[in-house]
């Protein structure tokens, strides 16, 4: 891979740089940006970067270096010496360097930094003399010994800390600043003894040995356990390697004309265009982070805003501050993004040590992006790609300044915060909500029969179940905050009590949950409502003008449908009709239908359900007037609708006028070993024709009711679930068409409708060319498609999926972000084959992946027509769809 002419070492700083920001893959992020800043003429202490290719070579060749490396390092070192005017190992005028790792992507878990390298028993004296500050020199030496011994030599750092504490105690000293030069000399001697005791040989005195030791430690740390785990979890290939940066030391701790600091070019919390940062006079970088001294604000404005008494840098070092403010402008103009920078001032001279794109809150990201567009720095398309997770912006959140008494913590299962009275049953939740009370539904776990109560509640708390439990999935779908699996809390239904950590709360007590953090909090905590206007609205309008994918919503209730339209949904992509069956008013008829012994009995019960279903559809069609509405016919196995407990069975049997025994028998008969793969979906439609016929009738009657004379266009799309063969679609479409004809004749009116299918089985994806002969649209049901393609039941995955993530077998939960390599290939095959048969077939995705940005981007890459997601994720999908267009170069 490398010939003898390979350049392994790139210099930066001083007058010329070998590298630039574009060379990130070769130089790592830190090295590339140091070179780039040098090129911009910014004051960067000179140094060099050993490339990532050396790392790769190192591991490909039994942990040895390329032959030419030594000479190239020497030459680069010489260049630093020349630039700085000091000699590496020169006892009267020593050059000190820092050694830092720097991979392509930021990577915790690797060796980070060794400072002050080059110090030894001789050069420390030179440094003392040259700086005129023996205390500074020996303090630097002891810092170096400790850091080097820890990260390069593997000597536990607590050994050094003990010695330092002992020295302070013995001498009645409290703060590090209380130690004088002699103290530090004594500490240095003690430190060197520790190293010799631990390793059986003295601390290395040769600066070149120190340097190669540190370089080796950086490369070695690329393959340590933490780094490998991190790479596996973040999909970073080991082949990328890390670079090593060696840079002349500058000192912020040489006196009061010295300082060190960190800054953001804009406020990372709010995004406001102010210079935001902190500094410390007479300190090294680590002191700012360590928090031993209170950092001071950079600007006067910052100082005042935070009510600080300490003087700002703008006041203390006005000249240097002005330089730094110029650097801020230069970097933003150059990088066209908010930067996170590190700097050091040595004897009134500014040095830049790092710049990188700054982390920011979602709100700040939006404001920065929008303002940078108006400043002419970036385009609208750029702005759209600058914003990540919107989730936290779309839900109420707890006022960060309000006090809170956290009782326990569960899984952050559905974002948003809510307060309300504790209520332990779904029915009561509904009753209280109807009386205008705010409630939090607290259950051990939830089931489909609790849906009306979940809908009525402000939030849901369960003590059992994971991120994909019923409560979590349904709550996310509804946009209700949910904390799931709070195992510390016990629910006592019979006494109407909730116990947690020795405390007992009664039903009716106030409780607050934060679904973004999993916190369960006593009493009521004020919340802040999401802000959908302003910059957010501006950004979303840009996203809408860029994106190609339509965004629909998954909704069954008028409330959800209306919410989704406000969030910008362009139709309903999935209306799960079975959710309409669990309503207490209807479930009895549903159960009578299931228990009927013949077709006549089923038809009678279905006739009772018809008006309800029709009314459901009337409301949805009205709300979605002018937009398409995809209605999925009954999907789950019938036994899901049957009661479970003996009491419930008795009650239902009485209401239905049936023998409880008959109901139990039927439940046993309907029981399935693997209901996910059982008698459900269109298999029910085939074997019980009257169910789908009732549903089709309700749809057509509702559609004509709404469209009749109302000037409201209705576009019903009837979706057949779980098809595996064309023949299933043929049989069911024929029946649906017959119902349509009958209704059209009865009402003497017609309308256009489509019949399509879900692609949620691997066979359906493979046979898509055949299915498209009958189906007028496909909707990818990627939840079930993931279950069947992976052979993993979502309900049972918790037993091993977290371990699978730990082992790096799956990078992300495939139920959260679509498995592009497996499930994705099936989607892509089906899209291609479907279009080959029917050029204009409409293709969409429903299920939770429709609201996941990575999955939305995949959908764009295979040119689907729309995604459909839960109402609260509609803006997320709109943004991701726009980002996909930009990132895939389709603008």
Q: Which positions lie near a copy of itself, rule CB under 8 A?
A: 672-679, 683, 686-687, 722, 724-725, 727-728, 731, 760-763, 766-767, 770, 784, 787-793, 795-796, 799-800, 803-804, 807-810, 819, 821-823, 825-826
Least separation in angstroms between residue 720's CB and a copy of itself is 13
* Burial (Cβ within 10 Å: 0-12, 13-18, ≥19) of residue 813: middle
* Residues 239-257 as b or e (16 or more Cβ within 10 Å = b): ebbbbbbbbbbbbbbbbee
536 contacts 271 by C-beta, under 8 angstroms: no
Contact criterion met (CB below 8 Å) for 861 and 888: yes
Measure the CA–CA gap between 311 and 658, rounded to whole angstroms. 83
Instruction: Give min distance, CB of 679 to a copy of itself, in A.
Output: 4
Cα separation, 146 vs 151, whole angstroms: 9
Specify which residues 511 forms β-bridges with: 420, 522
Of residues 331 and 785, the one with the C-beta less far from a copy of itself? 785
Q: Which is nearer to a copy of itself, 361 or 828 (CB)?
A: 828
Residue 69 beta carbon to a copy of itself: minimum distance, rounded to whole angstroms? 32
Residue corresponding to tokens 């790592």: 28
Residue tagged 């703060």 (tokens): 175
Q: Minimum distance from CB of 92 to a copy of itself (Å)?
A: 56
Strands 497-500 and 503-506 turn out to be antiparallel
Instruction: List the one residue out of 94, 16, 11 whose CA is nearest residue 50.
Output: 11
Both tokens assigned to 344 = 């050091």
Which residue among 455, 470, 579, 849 is the active-site one? 470
End-to-end Cα, the chain, rounded Å = 37
Q: Has 470 been annotated as catalytic?
A: yes
Element (H, E) at 217: helix 207-221
Least distance in Å: CB of 782 to a copy of itself?
13
How many CA atoms are closer than 13 Å to the CA of 722, on its beta-carbon side? 20
Is beta strand 339-346 parallel, antiparallel or unpaired with respect to 97-103?
unpaired
- 418 three-state secondary structure: strand
Cβ within 8 Å of residue 290, ≥6 positions away: none
CA distance 171 to 21: 50
Nearer to a copy of itself, 740 or 826 (CB): 826
Q: Please state, in angstroms and rounded to a whole number, the distance separating the CA atoms of residues 213 and 2.
A: 24
Parallel, antiparallel, or unpaired: how do β-strands 527-528 and 397-398 relate? antiparallel
Considering the complex, state which of residue 795 and residue 863 has its C-beta at the smaller distance from a copy of itself.
795
496 or 822: CB nearest a copy of itself? 822
Q: Is the Cβ of residue 51 or residue 787 nearer to a copy of itself in the bound state? A: 787
Q: Toward a copy of itself, which CB reaches closer, 127 or 761?
A: 761
Alpha-carbon 464 to chain mean position: 23
Could you tell me the maximum CA-CA distance found in the chain, to the nearest angstrom?
104
> Taking Cα atoms as reference points, which of 101, 356, 336 lies closest to residue 214?
101
Name the minimum Å distance from CB 784 to a copy of itself.
7
Question: Among candidates 146, 164, 134, which has minimal Cα distance to 203?
Answer: 146
Q: How far is the CB of 811 from a copy of itself (least distance, A)?
A: 10
- Report the distance separating Cα 366 and Cα 806, nearest Å: 33
Phi, psi for 158 (deg, rounded to 5): -65, -25
Cβ proximity to a copy of itself, 129 vs 795, nearer residue: 795
Whose Cβ is closer to a copy of itself: residue 550's or residue 833's?
833
Q: Which two tokens stand for residue 242?
A: 């890390």
Q: Please give the full DSSP string across 83-108, using - where no structure is assigned.
A: HHT-BTT-SSSB--EEEEEEESS--T
268 with 363: CB under 8 angstroms?
no
Name which of 494 and 687 has its Cβ closer to a copy of itself: 687
> Which C-beta is closer to a copy of itself: that of 349 or that of 806?
806
Of 695, 768, 673, nearest in space to 726 by CA: 768
Residue 693 and residue 588: Cα distance in Å, rounded? 20
Beta strands in 265-416 (DSSP E): 276-281, 296-297, 339-346, 349-357, 397-398, 406-409, 411-414
Q: In the complex, what is the shortest distance from the CB of residue 666 to a copy of itself, in angstroms, rounded to a whole number? A: 13
DSSP 719: E
Q: How far is the CB of 837 from a copy of itself (least distance, A)?
A: 15
Compute the distance between CA of residue 546 and CA of residue 883 in angstroms, rounded to an integer: 8
At 309, give phi and psi (nearest 5°): -90, -20
Instruction: Kindly name the residue from 846, 849, 859, 869 that is annotated as catalytic.
Output: 846
Buried b (16+ CB within 10 A) or exposed e, 870-881: bbbbbbbbbbbb
Q: Which is nearer to a copy of itself, 419 or 469 (CB)?
A: 469
Cα dist. 396→110, 475, 555 in Å? 38, 15, 21
Can 639 be counted among the known catalytic residues? Answer: no
Residue numbers annotated as active site = 470, 846
């Amino acid at each position: 891979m490398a010939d003898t002419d390979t350049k392994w070492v790139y210099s930066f700083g001083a007058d010329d740089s070998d590298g630039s920001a574009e060379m990130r893959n070769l130089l790592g992020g830190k090295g590339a940006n140091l070179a780039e800043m040098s090129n911009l003429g910014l004051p960067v202490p000179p140094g060099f970067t050993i490339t990532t290719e050396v790392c790769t070579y190192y591991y490909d060749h039994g942990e040895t270096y390329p032959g030419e490396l030594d000479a190239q390092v020497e030459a680069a070192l010489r260049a630093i010496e020349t630039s700085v005017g000091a000699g590496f190992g020169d006892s009267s005028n020593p050059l000190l360097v820092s050694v830092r790792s720097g991979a392509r992507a930021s990577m915790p878990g690797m060796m980070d930094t060794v400072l002050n390298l080059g110090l030894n028993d001789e050069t420390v004296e030179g440094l003392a003399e040259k700086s005129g500050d023996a205390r500074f020199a020996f303090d630097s030496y002891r810092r170096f010994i400790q850091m080097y011994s820890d990260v390069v030599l593997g000597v536990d750092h607590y050994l050094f800390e003990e010695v330092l504490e002992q020295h302070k105690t013995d001498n009645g000293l409290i703060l590090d600043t209380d130690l004088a030069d002699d103290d530090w000399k004594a500490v240095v001697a003690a430190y060197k003894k520790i190293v010799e005791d631990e390793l059986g040989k003295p601390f290395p005195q040769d600066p070149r040995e120190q340097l190669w030791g540190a370089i080796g430690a950086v490369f070695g740390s690329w393959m340590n356990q933490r780094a490998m785990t991190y790479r596996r979890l973040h999909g970073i290939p080991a082949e990328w390697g890390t670079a090593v940066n060696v840079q002349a030391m500058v000192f912020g701790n040489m006196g009061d004309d010295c300082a060190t600091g960190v800054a953001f070019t804009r406020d990372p919390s709010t995004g406001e265009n102010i210079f935001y940062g902190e500094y410390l006079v007479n300190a090294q970088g680590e002191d700012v982070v360590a928090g031993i001294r209170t950092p001071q604000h950079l600007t006067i404005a910052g100082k005042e805003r935070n009510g600080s008494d300490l003087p700002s840098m703008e006041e203390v070092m006005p000249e240097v501050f002005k330089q730094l403010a110029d650097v801020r402008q230069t970097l933003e103009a150059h990088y066209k993004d908010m930067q996170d920078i590190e700097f050091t001032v040595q004897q009134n001279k500014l040095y830049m040590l790092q710049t990188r794109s700054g982390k920011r809150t979602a709100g700040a990201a939006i404001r920065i992006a929008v303002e940078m567009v108006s400043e002419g720095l970036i385009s609208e398309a750029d702005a759209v790609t600058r914003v990540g997770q919107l989730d936290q912006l779309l839900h109420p959140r707890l006022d960060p300044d309000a006090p809170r008494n956290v009782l326990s913590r569960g899984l952050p299962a559905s974002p948003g915060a809510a307060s309300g009275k504790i209520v332990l049953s779904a029915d009561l939740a509904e009753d209280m909500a109807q009386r205008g009370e705010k409630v939090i539904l607290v259950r051990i776990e939830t089931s489909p029969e609790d849906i009306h109560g979940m809908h009525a509640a402000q939030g849901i708390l369960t003590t059992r179940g994971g991120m994909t439990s019923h409560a979590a999935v349904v709550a996310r779908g509804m946009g209700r905050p949910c904390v799931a699996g709070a195992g510390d809390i016990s629910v006592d239904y019979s006494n109407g009590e909730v116990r947690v950590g020795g405390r007992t709360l009664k039903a009716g007590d106030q409780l607050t949950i934060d679904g973004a953090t999993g916190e369960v909090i006593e009493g009521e905590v004020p919340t802040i409502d999401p802000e959908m206007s302003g910059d957010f609205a501006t950004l979303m309008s840009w996203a809408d003008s860029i994106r190609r994918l339509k965004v629909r919503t998954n909704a069954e209730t008028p409330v959800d449908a209306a919410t989704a339209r406000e969030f910008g949904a362009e139709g309903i992509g999935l209306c799960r009709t079975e959710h309409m069956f669990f309503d207490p008013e209807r479930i009895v008829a549903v159960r009578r239908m299931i228990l009927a012994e013949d077709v006549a009995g089923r038809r009678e019960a279905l006739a009772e359900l018809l008006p309800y279903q029709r009314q459901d559809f009337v409301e949805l069609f009205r709300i979605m007037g002018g937009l398409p509405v995809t209605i999925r016919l009954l999907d789950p196995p019938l036994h899901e609708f049957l009661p479970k407990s003996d009491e419930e069975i008795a009650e239902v049997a009485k209401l239905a006028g049936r023998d409880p025994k008959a109901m139990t028998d039927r439940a046993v008969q309907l029981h399935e070993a693997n209901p996910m793969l059982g008698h459900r979906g269109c298999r029910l439609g085939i074997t019980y024709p009257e169910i789908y016929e009732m549903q089709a009738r309700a749809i057509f009657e509702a559609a004509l009711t709404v469209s009749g004379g109302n000037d409201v266009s209705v576009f019903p799309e009837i979706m057949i679930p779980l098809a595996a063969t064309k023949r299933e679609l043929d049989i069911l479409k024929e029946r649906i068409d017959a119902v349509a004809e009958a209704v059209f004749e009865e009402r003497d009116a017609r309308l256009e409708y489509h019949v399509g299918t879900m692609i949620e089985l691997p066979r359906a994806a493979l046979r898509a060319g055949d299915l498209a002969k009958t189906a007028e649209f496909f909707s990818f049901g990627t939840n079930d498609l993931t279950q069947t393609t992976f052979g993993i039941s979502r309900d049972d995955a918790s037993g091993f999926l977290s371990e699978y993530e730990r082992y790096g077998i799956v990078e992300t939960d495939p139920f959260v972000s679509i498995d592009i390599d497996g499930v994705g290939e099936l989607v892509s095959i089906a899209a291609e084959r479907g279009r080959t048969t029917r050029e204009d077939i409409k293709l969409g995705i429903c299920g939770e992946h429709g609201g996941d940005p990575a999955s939305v981007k995949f959908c764009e890459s295979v040119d689907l027509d729309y995604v459909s997601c839960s109402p609260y994720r509609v803006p997320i999908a709109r943004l991701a769809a726009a980002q996909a267009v930009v990132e895939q170069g389709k603008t």
